[in-house]
């Protein structure tokens, strides 16, 4: 073995998702490390960093290791494996440079570093040159078992851990011959996993746990799961012993039944511990949630605008600078500059009520909290969620302010002219919080009223059919030549804006980052050297012909 450098590599197991399930040792080492490294897919959202965020300290170097490919195709000459191997080599070189310089590197791993983790690829490439030590973490198997509240195995029973990526026939045979099973790596593999469970006769005894221990935890019977809604971070369990108590299907939607008024009783809204702070003696302590000094805290709900930093108002910028804590969807939190001493509480985009309760709870303890939204916080964003939760008795003394922002509809409209120059409506195409029947009824009513329409949340990776259904509904009231503006990532680095017609609208061009503007009978387009211009006239009866 070559000479050991002064730098040390720590493989840090973070546990399954709940920051409070990070071990004391892991929390201490994360706070002490010179460099904190973590992986993510191309979207940039690192689950590991989100878990470790409460334990980070200002001034640490962060190494964000972004996979070049996950499930998509690649043009790398070595194919998928070639792209991944090259990535691991380059990532190892980045970490080796820090280790050779004598820096301590904490490489984060969700769950346990040596249990289906990316850490092992770095360990193989670095442990022969540098001092390396592993801090174990709670695995998702243990967290999922705890979510079920029933033993996985007892006595002489055997537990088999299986990857869902196995061929269905092999998975079926393994399930037939084991007492209990944990099936990992679900996501797109779930239809095959369900088939293997069925063919092995184990489907009726199998349970599905999604994002165990996190604020988005779900528990269902394996047979009741929608194949299209299964993320990679899910697990199927087949317990050996017959459960002696009922296992209740549940999700974050059950949160209202949890008593939020009891400190620490609600995992979804409990305040994460503060980062470890060195004492004068060189030790580390965890500072507590902000204690009230007599001055009440407050919640300020702010809108950043659609994407361009120049569209964030000075009033919002001042509120962000004054905040002790930021709460919001990870993608929006990442748009706010880091500030020393300011705590960032990032979460998924589907836990609005839980996020609001966390913000109000922090403010109740004396914190100045900024809840961050994109666009305008009052337009399909966090203002309504915060105000709704603030009406609960335990939060009625917490002050809430809302600061407006430029909303996406106006930003997209400005790129082509004035397609919203007359009466218009804003409709979210998402049917996650309201049934599609309501969406369809509103689309038809507004179309019949001859108003322009700004369409928010038109599609996502798992919600694809709604744009086509909207198009057919609108064509019942509008001619195919009706102008349609497609604005994607307006104000962002990948901005694109295109004008088409309702008849030629292709649903496959639309995703969650796209906003649509559907014209009315008075909406007109014309070509200029700068591109197609669009406006909706405020006059009826004197509109130029198209």
3-state secondary structure 488-504: ECCCCCCCEEEEEECCC
Which whole number is the average pLDDT over 98-126?
93
- Scanning 274-375, the segments in alpha helix (DSSP H) are 314-322, 330-333, 352-364
pLDDT in tens, 453-489: 999 999 877 778 899 999 999 999 999 999 999 999 9
Percent of the chain's residues with pLDDT above 90: 61
Domain covering 409-536 in this structure, CATH number = 3.30.950.10
Confidence tier at 273 by pLDDT (50, 70, 90): very low
Q: Is residue 278 pLDDT above 70, yes or no?
A: no
Which whole number is the average pLDDT over 499-528?
94
| Predicted local confidence at residue 473, as pLDDT | 94
Q: Let me know: does 464 contact 522? Beta carbons within 8 Å.
A: no
Q: How far apart are CA 244 and CA 241, in angstroms?
A: 8
* Cβ-based neighbour number of residue 245 at 10 Å: 8
Least confident of 206-210, 223-227, 500-504, 541-545: 541-545
| Predicted local confidence at residue 350, as pLDDT | 67
Q: Is residue 545 pLDDT above 70, yes or no?
A: no
pLDDT in tens, 19-72: 999 999 999 999 999 999 999 887 778 889 999 999 999 889 999 998 886 655
Q: Is residue 76 pLDDT above 70, yes or no?
A: no
Cα three-residue angle 517-523-526, rounded to 5 degrees = 100
Q: How far apart are CA 236 and CA 187, in angstroms?
A: 11
Confidence tier at 267 by pLDDT (50, 70, 90): very low
Cα three-residue angle 88-93-94, rounded to 5 degrees = 100
Confidence tier at 95 by pLDDT (50, 70, 90): very high
- Which CATH fold topology does 141-254 show? 3.30.950
Q: Would the CA dihedral through 95, 98, 102, 105 be positive or negative?
A: negative
Give whole-number Cα distances, 402 to 95, 197, 320, 384, in Å. Answer: 43, 50, 13, 10
Does this chain's domain 8-137 share its CATH topology with 409-536?
Answer: no
| Predicted local confidence at residue 288, as pLDDT | 35
- The domain spans of the chain are 8-137, 141-254, 287-406, 409-536
Q: Let me know: does 47 contact 266? Beta carbons within 8 Å.
A: no
Which whole number is the average pLDDT over 487-499?
91
The mean pLDDT of the chain is 85
Under CATH, to which class is 8-137 assigned? alpha beta
DSSP assignment of 315-326, as one string?
HHHHHHHH-SEE
Under CATH, to which class is 287-406 assigned? alpha beta
Q: Is residue 289 pLDDT above 50, yes or no?
A: no
| Predicted local confidence at residue 249, as pLDDT | 76
Q: How far apart are CA 522 and CA 526, in angstroms?
A: 13
Which whole number is the average pLDDT over 247-265?
44
| Predicted local confidence at residue 500, as pLDDT | 96
**Among the ranges 43-47, 243-247, 372-376, 464-468, which has the highest mean pLDDT value?**
372-376
Q: Are strands 496-501 and 483-488 parallel, antiparallel or unpaired?
A: antiparallel
* Cβ-based neighbour number of residue 392 at 10 Å: 15
| Predicted local confidence at residue 285, as pLDDT | 26
Q: Is residue 263 pLDDT above 60, yes or no?
A: no
| Predicted local confidence at residue 69, as pLDDT | 65
**Residues 6+ positions from 78 with CB-CB distance below 8 Å:** 85, 86
Which whole number is the average pLDDT over 338-352?
80
Predicted TM-score (pTM) of this structure: 0.48
Q: Is residue 2 pLDDT above 50, yes or no?
A: no
């Amino acid at each position: 073995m070559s000479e050991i450098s002064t730098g040390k590599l720590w493989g840090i197991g973070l546990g399954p998702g709940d920051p409070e399930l990070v071990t004391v040792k892991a929390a201490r080492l994360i706070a002490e490390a010179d460099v904190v490294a973590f992986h993510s897919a191309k979207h940039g959202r690192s689950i590991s960093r989100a878990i470790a965020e409460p334990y980070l300290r200002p001034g640490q170097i962060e190494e964000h290791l972004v996979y070049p490919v996950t499930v998509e195709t690649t043009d790398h000459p070595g194919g998928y494996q070639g792209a991944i191997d090259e990535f691991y080599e380059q990532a190892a070189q980045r970490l080796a440079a820090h280790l050779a310089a004598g820096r301590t590197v904490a490489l984060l791993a969700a769950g346990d570093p040596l249990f289906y983790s990316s850490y092992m690829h770095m360990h193989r490439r670095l442990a022969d040159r540098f001092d390396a030590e592993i801090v174990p973490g709670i695995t998702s198997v243990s967290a999922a078992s705890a979510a079920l509240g029933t033993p996985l195995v007892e006595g002489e029973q055997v537990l088999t851990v299986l990857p869902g990526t196995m061929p269905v026939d092999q998975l079926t045979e393994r399930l037939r011959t084991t007492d209990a099973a944990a099936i990992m790596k679900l996501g797109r593999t779930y239809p095959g996993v369900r088939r293997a469970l069925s063919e092995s006769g184990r489907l009726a005894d199998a349970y599905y746990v999604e994002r165990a221990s996190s604020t988005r935890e779900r528990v269902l019977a394996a047979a009741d799961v929608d194949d299209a809604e299964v993320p990679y971070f899910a697990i199927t369990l087949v317990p050996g012993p017959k459960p002696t108590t009922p296992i209740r299907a549940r999700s974050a939607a059950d949160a209202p039944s949890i008593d939020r008024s009891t400190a620490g009783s609600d995992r979804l809204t409990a305040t994460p511990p503060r980062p470890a702070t060195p004492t004068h003696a060189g030790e580390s302590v965890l500072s507590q949630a902000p204690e009230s000094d007599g001055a009440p805290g407050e919640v300020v709900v702010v809108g950043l605008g659609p994407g361009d930093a120049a569209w964030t108002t000075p009033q919002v910028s001042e509120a962000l600078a004054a905040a002790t804590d930021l709460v919001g969807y990870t993608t929006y939190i990442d748009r706010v500059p880091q500030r020393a001493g300011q705590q960032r509480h990032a979460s998924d985009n589907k836990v609005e009520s839980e996020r609001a309760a966390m913000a109000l709870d922090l403010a109740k303890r004396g914190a100045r909290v900024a809840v961050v939204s994109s666009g305008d916080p009052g337009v399909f964003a966090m203002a309504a969620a915060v105000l709704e939760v603030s009406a609960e008795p335990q939060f009625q003394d917490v002050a809430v302010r809302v600061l407006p922002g430029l909303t996406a509809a106006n930003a997209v409209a400005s790129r082509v002219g004035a397609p919203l120059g007359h009466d218009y409506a804003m409709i979210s195409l998402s049917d996650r919080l309201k049934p599609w029947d309501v969406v369809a009824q509103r689309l038809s009513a507004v179309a019949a009223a001859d108003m322009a329409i700004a369409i928010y949340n038109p599609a996502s990776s798992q919600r694809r059919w709604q744009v086509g259904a909207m198009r057919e509904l609108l064509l019942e009231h509008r001619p195919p030549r009706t102008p349609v503006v497609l604005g994607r990532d307006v104000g962002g680095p990948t901005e694109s804006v295109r004008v088409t017609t309702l008849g030629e609208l292709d649903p496959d061009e639309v995703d969650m980052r796209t906003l649509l503007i559907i014209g009315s009978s008075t909406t007109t387009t014309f070509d200029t050297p700068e591109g197609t211009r669009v406006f909706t006239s405020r006059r009826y009866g004197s509109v130029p012909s198209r």
